[in-house]
Each structure stands twice: as structure tokens, then as C-alpha cells.
Structure 1
Amino acid sequence: MFEGGGKRTGSPRSRGPAFAAVVGAGALLGAIVAAAPASAIIGGVDATEEYEFMAALFDDKGAHMCGGALVDEEWVLTAGHCTFPEEITVRVGSTDHTQGGSEREVVEVVEHPDYEVEDVSDDPDYELSEYLLWNDLALVRLDSPVEQTPIDLGEVSSVPDSAVRVLGWGMVDEFGEKDKPDMLQQLDTEVVDPERCAEMDPESDLCSEHPTDEAQACITDSGGPLIRGEEGDRELVGVVSRDGDFDESPLCVGPMVFTDPVAHADWITSTIGDETSAKTPEPVPAKGVGHVRGADDHRPSDFERG
């Protein structure tokens, strides 16, 4: 347990992976559906806006795996645990992740310097969990700028009772029995007290929970944006990271941890500024030249208990 002094808080409760409920990838998806049914945005509706900053990340086999947000004409902010494939392709600016918008290859991945995959497999307090995530952010650089307008980072962090909206693609029921939609889903929800989420850092993360306790983000929503404000004046205030409780069922609905980009604004802006001033490299595999790691490489399947 981590607590006090603005550090990690929350009491560990016995359950499956502390955060893997929100990761994506084709191979992982099948394993999760078999072992612990999951989905993406549950209880959402089709997108009502263009959300041209919205990004879809695809793995080296072309499977949709994560979301992201365009924060600069050639940079997308996503979750650190979304950067495992050898190659990543990004589609920006389309509510249909199968077509439209701008498609780019990723030429560089920069994980947050304090991104940590904490191994708790030998900790008796975590009977089913093997890993926890901290500072779960990464910036991916596109091979050329896009014409879509980036979303601004929030100027201040969201506080409990703030109205927010989460965006993502994926299956829309708790047990993965329905097809994943091609159309972007949105869910209006709210920020809640940090104590509602287990194992989070209130200085780095946000906790969000739907008032009905029957709607939430989940698998393949990882890295996607939590936004606030009105249409035409949206701000990025969260990045989908991990499950916020350890209840065995339901897997996804309930509290969810979002990494707070406002708390990491200095790293985001400095990375974009420093890297963009350099010469644009040729497209390379994400784990090859130009891949800057902040923690040991892990595939999402490393975080699953079969």
C-alpha cells in the first residue's frame, strides 16, 4: 500500500490485474475474453462531434489497440502501456477508425521518464494482480504533420464533481458478446474523489466513475482522452490508464484511473519542443532507433493473469 504525502493511495483489494482492464491488442483481447470478460466504453453513445484531435493506434498487424489525442501537429499523447508493438500506425481526425482522417506511421516513441511497471507478483496483498502502472504516459511522433487541429491541455487539473467526457472505440458490453463499433463512442461522466480508486497517485492521476456505476471505459480505450469543456472549446484533462478497483466482477464498470496530463504538462511541452526542433527521422520500428523507453518493455499480455 502506498499512502500519505501526495503519494500513491488506496488499499489493495483482491482482484485480477490492477490496470489491464484497459489495455488493447488482438491477441490479448481473446485471452481476456476467455479469462475475464471485458469491453471498451460501456454505456456510451455514438460521437456527436468531429473530435478531429482523436487518434486511433494500430499495431503491426493492423489491429486497433488504443486511443490517443493529437497535442501537436505531429505528436499524439497516449498511455505508456500502448507502445509495445514493433510498429505503430495512427489515424487522426476520423470518428470512424477504419477510414478517413489522416493516417501516419510512428517514427518515435517517448515514454514518460517516470513511467513504471511495478511488479507485485510476489506481494501477498495482490493475490491476482502481477503489475501496477505509474505515470502511464507516452508521446508518439508521426512521420509527418497532420492538418487536424490539436487539442489543448487543460490549464488546471479537474477536481471531484467535474463533468468530463471519455472517448474511445471497442466492444460495448461487459462480456464482449457484441461486435466492436467502427464509430467512436463517447460517455459523459465525472471526476470523483481519489479515494474511490485503489493504487493511484493523486498528484499524477485522476479518478473517474459514472454516477450509475454501470458505464465506463475499458479494453482498447487505453490512451484515449478524457476531455472537458464545450464543443469547439475542449481541453484534455485525462488519459485512460487502468482499472480503479479490484472487484472480480464487473470487470470494467466502476472507478477508473486516468493519468492527468495537466500534472505532466512540463514534460509534454518540453518533449514536443525539444524533439520537434530536431530533424524528422525516417520511419522506423517503434522499438528501434528513436524509441526512448522510461521502463522495461512489456507487452499487455505480461499484465494478464490467465
Structure 2
Amino acid sequence: MRKRRLLAAIPVAFVALSGTSIAYADPTPPPTPNIVGGVPASEVYSFMASLQSSSGRHSCGGSLVAASWVVTASHCGTPYQVRIGTTQYNSGGEVRRVASRQVIGGDVALLRLASPASSAPVPIATSAPVGSSTRLIGWGQTCPVRGCGPAPVGLRQLDTRIISDGYCSGIRASTELCIEGGGGRGACYGDSGGPAVIGGPGAWRLVGATSRGTASQCAVSPAIYGDVTAYRSRILQIIGGGAVQA
């Protein structure tokens, strides 16, 4: 269990981050106020998944945690297919049909693939301590207001950190993470379900799945992520021996 320091909650509005991908910003402020998001992905994340319709339209993100299993947000529903292990959501990697979905708890769900993927999965971390440096990854909308522009085709990333729950109004303390954002930095619509990871190249570990924002537009305040580490034991029990150990 993570150690947390209780702070007074900051009153903020609520916004779900579904329907378009979350944009991730550069660690430095963006050059113009209407840019939410991010820098191009610095590597091909073998575990990164795009949840898609039968026509290949991107809706949410996800993380391959075993050959036949993807972790995502439960509010993303059951997609027709996923594309895994590419920096372009409309090409490359491998495509697998989705066979079923199982809600694990809160806003965290597992997708079972109809056939195993060959891409390398990401292990689930054993804990997600406050203060941990975290990388957010996704095909997020790069402007802060819902519908203000399309999601980018190229995968993007943002380095940020886990902060105390008191900064995220409405958070479920035992099963969710508060991820730093604001000042033009942070997640946006459509990155729902996408990963927050710790570690580094060749040693990434999954800690969170994007759930929702805490304001009426993106990148002005922290975001809430499902704490995948809180459900680690249950997920490993479901996916069995196919999991990679952290």
C-alpha cells in the first residue's frame, strides 16, 4: 500500500477523459497556450495498445500485461480490436480482436484478446508511491477543450509524477492515483485507459490507467488514474502464468 500525506482537497470540476486520446505535454511549458500536448514518443512501447472500432478508429489507450490481456479503463467499454506495439495508431504493430471484457474494480478493466499477441507485455509494479516519477503515454488530443481538434496519429508522452491525493477532488484514495498536471501539461480526451509507467527503457512497469480529469478542460489541473498496482494480485490471478513479473 502506498504511503500518502493527506492534504486539503482543492475544489475542482470533474471531466471524464474518454472519447479521444489524452495529450501529454513536454516537461517545459508549451510555446503557445493552445498546445496541450506532449513530445513524440521516444521509443516504440511494445505494450502500448490503441483500442479501436472495426474501422480502426482510435478511442482509448491500454497496456498489454500478458499475451492475451490488456489493462484499460472500464469506462472505455469493449472495443472491436486493439493495435499493439506501434507509435502510429493506424499502422504498424499487430492487431488483435477483443474477445471479452472484465471489470476489475473502480475504473480498471481487463480485455481478453481473441488470439495472443507477440509483443512484449509490461509488468505491473508492486506499488506506486507518492513522488514517483511517472511517464504518461497516449494518442491524446493536443488542444485542451473537448472536440477542439483531432487526436494525433503519432504517439506522444509526458514525464510527470504521482502527487498526494488531496490535490485530486473526488479521488478514491485506496484504488486511484493523483497525477500531476496543469500549466499546459497533462492528459486530455481519448487517452482514457492509457498507461502511466515508472522505470525506464527496457524496464518500464505499469502503475496506472487513465481515468478522468479534475477540471472542465485538459492540462489545467491534475488527473486521476486507476491504481493498477492496487489490483495487481487480482489481475495476476486472472491472467495466470502469462504475466511478466516486476
Q: Normalization by structure 1: what TM-score?
A: 0.68
SS at match of 1:99: coil
What secondary structure, in the 3-state scheme, does the structure 1 residue paired with 2:199 have? strand
2:29 paired residue number: none
Could you tell me how far 1:77 is from its partner in structure 2? 0.4
1:11-30 map, 5 Å: 13=11, 15=13, 18-20=14-16, 22-24=17-19
Is 1:220–2:190 an aligned residue pair? yes
- 1:94 pairs with 2:65: no
Q: Is residue 163 from structure 1 mapped to residue 158 from structure 2 by the alignment?
A: no
Q: Does 1:110 align with 2:105?
A: no
Q: Structure 1 residue aligned with 2:40, among 43, 46, 56?
A: 46
What does the per-residue CA deviation read over 1:100-122, in whole Å, with 9 as the maximum and x for residues that have no partner?
1110110011112xx4xxxxxxx
Kindly provide the CA deviation profile for residues 86-106 of structure 1, in whole angstroms up to 9, marking residues without a partner as x. x52100111111011110110
Alignment of 1:1-306 (within 5 A): 13=11, 15=13, 18-20=14-16, 22-24=17-19, 40-41=23-24, 42-84=36-78, 87-112=79-104, 115=105, 135-157=106-128, 159-175=129-145, 176-210=147-181, 213-243=183-213, 245=214, 247-248=215-216, 250-273=217-240
Distance in 2 of aligned mates of 1:204 and 1:170: 24
1:271 deviates by: 1.4
Aligned counterparts of 1:97 and 1:202: Cα–Cα separation in 2: 33
Counterparts of 1:39 and 1:262 in 2: how far apart (Å)? 21
Partner of 1:271: helix, strand, or coil? helix
Cα drift, residue 61 of structure 1: 4.9
Q: What percent of counterpart residues are identical?
A: 35
One-letter code of the match for 2:91?
Answer: Q
**Contact map agreement 2:142 2:188 (CA 8 A) in 1:** no
CA spacing shift, 1:271–1:10, aligned 2, 3 Å:
farther
> Deviations along 1:154-192, whole A, 9 cap, x unmatched?
1222x2221110000032111354442111000011111
Deviation at 1:231, TM superposition (A): 0.7
CA contact (8 A) 1:91 1:104 kept: yes
Q: TM-score, normalised by structure 2?
A: 0.83
**Corresponding residue for residue 120 of structure 1:** none
Q: Distance in 2 between matches of 1:171 and 1:189?
A: 18
Question: What code does the residue aligned with 1:24 have?
Answer: G
Cα distance 1:143–1:46, how it changes in 2: closer, same or farther (>3 A)? same
1-structure distance, mates of 2:183, 2:237: 38
Give 5+ residue unaligned stretches, structure 1. Answer: 1-5, 26-37, 116-134, 277-306
Specify the structure having the higher radius of gyration (Cα).
1
Q: Deviations over 1:8-53 (max 9, x none)?
A: x9769463xx241x1116xxxxxxxxxxxx9633331000011010
> Does structure 2 conserve the Cα–Cα contact (< 8 Å) formed by 1:161 and 1:191?
yes
- Is the contact made by 2:83 and 2:95 (CA closer than 8 Å) also made in structure 1? yes
RMSD: 2.4
Q: Could you tell me how far apart the structure 2 residues matched to 1:107 and 1:272 are?
A: 14
Residue-by-residue CA offset, 1:243-291 (whole Å, 9 max, x unaligned): 1x3x44x4443110011111101111111129x8xxxxxxxxxxxxxxx
